[in-house]
Structure 1
Amino acid sequence: MDMAHLSPGTTPERLHALDGVRAGALLLGVLFHASLSFLPGGQIWVVRDAPSDALGMFSFVAHIFRMAAFFLIAGYFGRMLLARRGPGGFVRNRLVRVALPLLVFWPIVLAGIVATFVWGAATMAGGSLPPGPPPPPPTLATFPLTHLWFLYVLLLFYTAALAIRALASLVDRPGRFRGGIDRGMRALSATPAAPLFLAAPLAAALAVRPDWHAWGGIPTPDTGFLPNMAALAGYGTAFAFGWLLHRQTGLLEQIRRWWAVQLAAAILLSIACWVQLASVPASAPMPAGSTRTLFACLYALAVWTWTLGLTGAALRFLTRERPGVRYLADASYWIYLMHLPVVMALQVAIYPVAAPGLAKWALVCLGAFLILVASYHLLVRHSWLGRWLNGRKLPWRGSAPVLETHKA
């Protein structure tokens, strides 16, 4: 991250911590997607392998917070970049670092995903591809954004943030409204009750969604160019909170202060959600009425207690520069962009092996990280790809890299 422009309260130590949260959320996505072929229930992935209840619980809990935490940090770093470079520089940077990777890497990963699905179908059918009609052509509503949907949604949030900022500068010249927002943020962060307010939009969106499969949490907006309302409410609130947090970076101290309370609440809420899901089949939508409303509230609260708790814990314990953590943080963007075809190919390759699901999942994760980290080190870190994705090309030997905030 570039330290040339730090707003008051944004110390290098805090930036190390926040970048660790961003990188951790992306790297956790590799472990999450590696677990999907081992979930109990019907086939939802490239192959249906040996089921594992432990991986089912891991997948459920990891999906609660990983992308909400990512979008909170993206909002914070987004406004930091805007403050440093101005609107024009911000737009140019986001086009290069977010829009262009989406356009370039999408066809590459989609080709890999299609190939592994074909391979997986043939493997599960005994070696030959089962007969079936070809998939229908994509439409605006069914376009497969794949796991790169997060880049597309980020672009939508950036556009909305710039538009709201421009409107506010026109209609709120004295700054009274913005001052009220800042006071609200201070009140919100002063107590550990912040999740009660932040969770409300997501809880409402989930409670009114008739086809909500609660086992999947926030419905992933990976299909179509109009994200679903629950994803917009959940991730949009996280992005907005991070954006407004950068207006008063001293509030990071309040998030750090309450980390233990938030994580304790997150664990209890996750247990409550898991217990309530025991009677709901994974393939069935959550029943309407008070059952769905209660679960929506519990789940939304879990999203925010996990997100604030983990962010606060990082601000408490992850403020010191560590070479290994720095390396993985630098690699995380590339790893997440390219991981899905690699993970899926390994899942198909290991499918015929007779072993417990947990052991096979560990092998898939290990193999994926070895391949992805090696490809980062050999192809990206010291090349023009590194300059494009991370803002710098590092020499093969030399001083430690400077922290860079302008990744996705």
Structure 2
Amino acid sequence: MSTGVGQKQDRLHYWDFSRALYLVLGIPFHAAVIYSLTHEWSVSSPDKSQVLTWLADFLHTFRMPGFFILAGMFSIMLLERQGARAWLASRLVRLGLPLLCATLLILPFQIVVQSVALTLTGALPVPELQAHIVAQLTHFGEPWISHLWFLWALIAYCVALAGLHGLIGGARLRQRVNGLVGWVGDNRILSLSAFAAICQLAAQAQTAITTASPYYGNAVINYNLYAPYFGFGVVLFYSRTVHDLLLRPGVATLAAGVGLVTFSQISYAGLFTHTLAVMAGIFGALMIVGFISGLARRHFSHPDGRIRRLVDASFTIYLFHHPVIYVLATVFLLINLPPVVEFAIIAPAAGVIAYGIHLLFMRSRIAMLMFNGVMPKPVRTVPAAASGGSPVGLIR
């Protein structure tokens, strides 16, 4: 891929690793949220854990921001290479087909498992189980979105980016992005003040929307929350300055990022504290993402067959780890073990099973198209002398 001013460079493999990592981190996140004190998940254990609550909240603060930053960067990279119309058409297949297949085949299964879990916890009387399942299957609601929300959001962001690119033009968009980056660098105090004002408006809007409609308001916020990170990914592709700045953080910056995202999770009272929490969450997420990206650049900058396999499997793993965790969490409703012990079993088991599903799907071109959006291609072998490692192929 290319970065900065768009000069052609060798493929930056560490971005592939980082993108796959954020998807795979969905496994410990969803396994931990089962026992969360602050989130009532679809299949929740009556036994809660403060440690796992913190882990789920912590992962949530940077995992999806990191994913959408890289999604924005890869999107504009491919858009510039292919053109807006061709790129958007490929995105609708790459993202839309797995979304459709997972909606029709995975989500109904999850609805059934979730309903059974409700009977095990006593929240749903057994005689009402069948009627409840039918009602859930025939009425649109959150269970029909579930963990696929990121695909809906990503498709919407891609459509908006293609429209913007087509309207303004790639050269002018690049010029405006770099002009904005230059202005921010020359006016740091004013930029910080403007950022604080935007965060204050966002905090006010969040309060107003959730007050007007707690259920749908939170949904609207959550599904649009990552658009700024997607946009930041576009900036990251165009600007070498921002690219190098993001990858600069060391251990001290990581510690500061962890502190900021921890602060962003505290209960806030009043607009001022809410605004500070929003700002802390954004800055903290960028610091953690930057540290991870820099670490990946130091260790995963060269072709590696193991990383290639992780990248290829990450999308399928994300789609299928979720129903697997549903089943495992439901089973553990019948077993009385400490939450941390159950988590230590569920998380790795879900990862192994989801990866096994990917290996099974690799035997079928149709299955890979349905749930990965691509037809498997023969691996293009790179000589060891050229790659310095295992034979790998290039992913798209």
Whether TM-score is above 0.5 comes out as: yes
Show the counterpart of 2:51: 54
Structure 2 counterpart of 1:298, from 263, 266, 280: 280
Aligned to 2:146: 146
Q: Deviations over 1:333-383 (max 9, x none)?
A: 001112211111111112222221111011111221121111111223663
Distance 1:101 1:192, change over 3 A: farther
Secondary structure, counterpart of 1:351 in structure 2: helix
8 Å CA contact 1:29, 1:336 repeated in 2: yes
List per-residue Cα deviations over 1:114-167 (Å, max 9, x = no partner).
11111101222299626488457646x868321111111111111111211222
| Higher mean displacement: 19-28 or 195-204 | 195-204
Mapped contact 2:305–2:392 kept (Cα < 8 A): no
How big is the shift at 1:182? 0.9
- TM-score normalized by the length of structure 1: 0.79
Aligned residue pairs total 377
The answer for the alignment partner of 2:19 in structure 1 is 22
**Greater relative contact order, per chain length (Cα 8 Å cut-off, separation 6+):** 1
Alpha-carbon separation, structure 1, partners of 2:186 and 2:359: 43
Q: Does 1:209 align with 2:206?
A: yes
CA contact (8 A) 1:394 1:401 kept: no
Secondary structure of the equivalent of 1:209?
helix
- Could you tell me which of 220, 223, 228 is aligned with 1:228? 220
Q: Which amino acid aligns with 1:228?
A: V
Structure showing the higher helix proportion among its residues = 2
Q: Does 1:183 align with 2:179?
A: yes
The separation in 1 between residues aligned to 2:336 and 2:150, in whole angstroms, is 35
1:318: how far off?
2.6
Q: CA deviation at 1:22?
A: 1.0
2:258 corresponding residue in structure 1: 267
Q: Does 1:114 align with 2:120?
A: no
- Cα distance in 2 for partners of 1:191, 1:211 equals 31
SS of the residue corresponding to residue 38 of structure 1 reads: coil
Question: Is the contact between residue 196 and residue 275 of structure 2 (CA under 8 Å) also seen in structure 1?
Answer: no
Q: Is the 8 A contact 1:207 1:296 kept in 2?
A: no
What's the C-alpha RMSD, in Å, of the aligned pairs? 3.8
How far did 1:186 drift? Answer: 5.2
1:83 aligns to 2:44 (yes or no): no
**How far apart, in 2, do the equivalents of 1:370 and 1:341 lie?**
13
Q: Which amino acid aligns with 1:393?
A: P
CA contact under 8 A between 1:105 and 1:337: conserved in structure 2?
A: yes
Whether the 8 Å contact between 1:55 and 1:358 is mirrored in structure 2 is: yes
- Residue identity in the other structure for 2:310: L
Do 1:189 and 1:254's aligned partners in 2 also have CA atoms closer than 8 Å? no
Give the conservation status (yes or no) of the 8 Å contact 2:15–2:293. Answer: yes
Q: Give the CA deviation at 1:202.
A: 5.4
Tell me the SS of whatever aligns to 2:301: coil
- What does 1:274-293 align with in structure 2 at a 5 Å threshold? 274=265, 277=266, 280=267, 286-293=268-275
Tell me the distance in 2 between the aligned counterparts of 1:347 and 1:330. Answer: 27
Separation of aligned partners in 2, 1:49 and 1:226: 24
Task: Please tell me whether residue 31 in structure 1 is matched to residue 28 in structure 2.
Answer: yes
Question: Using the alignment, how far apart are the partners of 2:187 and 2:217 within structure 1?
Answer: 37
2:161 alignment counterpart: 161
| Aligned-residue offset at 1:205 | 1.8
2:94 to 89, 93, 97: 97
Give the stretch that moved more between structures: 362-371 or 391-400.
391-400
Match of 1:245 among 214, 236, 256: 236
CA distance in 2, matches of 1:201, 1:113: 38
Asked if 2 retains the 8 angstrom alpha-carbon contact of 1:116 and 1:348, the reply is: yes
Rounded to whole Å, the distance in 1 between the matches of 2:71 and 2:165 is: 17
CA drift of 1:78 comes to 0.8
- One-letter amino acid of the counterpart of residue 230, structure 2: F
Deviations along 1:272-326, one digit per CA (max 9) or x if unpaired, are 335xx2xx4xxxxx54333323323322322332233323332333313333222
What is the CA–CA distance in structure 2 between the aligned matches of 1:165 and 1:42, rounded to whole Å? Answer: 38
**Shift in CA distance, 331/42, structure 1 to aligned 2, threshold 3 Å:** closer
Amino acid corresponding to residue 11 of structure 1 in structure 2: D
Change (3 A) 1:182 1:41: closer
CA distance in 1 between partners of 2:196 and 2:367 (Å) = 38
* Cα distance change, pair 264–88 in 1 and its aligned pair in 2 (3 A): same
Please give the alpha-carbon distance, in whole angstroms, between the structure 1 residues aligned to 2:218 and 2:165: 22
